[in-house]
Amino acid sequence: MGEITKNEANFIGYEYKDVTVKRTMEAVYADGYRNFGWSLEGTSPPIQSVGSITMKFKRDRKIRNKTELTRLQRQFDACVSEIDMLERSKGLLSSAVAYLIGVAGTAFMAGSVFAYLDDRLALSIILAVPGFAGWVLPYFTYCSIRRKKTSRVSPLIDQKYDEIYEVCEKANGLLTR
C-alpha cells in the first residue's frame, strides 16, 4: 500500500506534440522547443512530404507558466514560418523571370523551325539567335536576381533569428522560475 502512494506522488502526466518541419529547420525546432519545456522524443519522415521531418515532443502537463510559454511558443512558430517564407522568396522571383525568358526563347526557336520548314533560311537564322539566347540567359538571370534578393533578405532573416533567440531566452527564464 505504501508503495502505491509513493508511485502516485511521482506521477507525471505528459502532453504530446507532433511537428512537421523542413529538414533545414530541424535543429532550430529541437533547440527552440526545449526552451518551452518540450523534450524531443524522436523523429520520423512524414508520409506525404519529401524534405520534411516529423518531430515528436513531450512535456509535463503541469508545467509552470504554461499560458505564457504557449504564447511565446506561438511567437516562435510565427518567426520560423516568416524565416521560411523569406527563404522561399529568394528563389521565387528569380525562377519566374528565368522561366519567362526560357519560354520566350523556346517561342523564338519554334518560329525559327517553322521559318526553316517554310524555306525562309534568313528568317530562320534571325529567329534562332534570340532563341538560343533565351535558352542560355535564364541561368545567368536566375543567379543574378537570386544574389540581389539574397543580399536584401539576409538582414531580415538575421533579425528574425535574433527575435527567435529573444523569445527562447524569455521562455527559458520562465522555466527556471
Q: Which pLDDT tens digit goes with each residue over 82-131?
A: 999 999 999 999 999 999 999 999 999 999 999 999 999 999 999 999 99
pLDDT in the model for residue 3: 43
Note the pTM of the prediction, 2 decimals. Answer: 0.77
Q: In 10 A of CB 66, how many CB atoms?
A: 16
Residue 7 confidence (pLDDT) above 70: no
pLDDT in the model for residue 64: 85
CB 97 within 8 A of CB 38: no
Residue 63 confidence (pLDDT) above 90: no
Phi, psi torsion values for 42, nearest 5 degrees:
170, 175
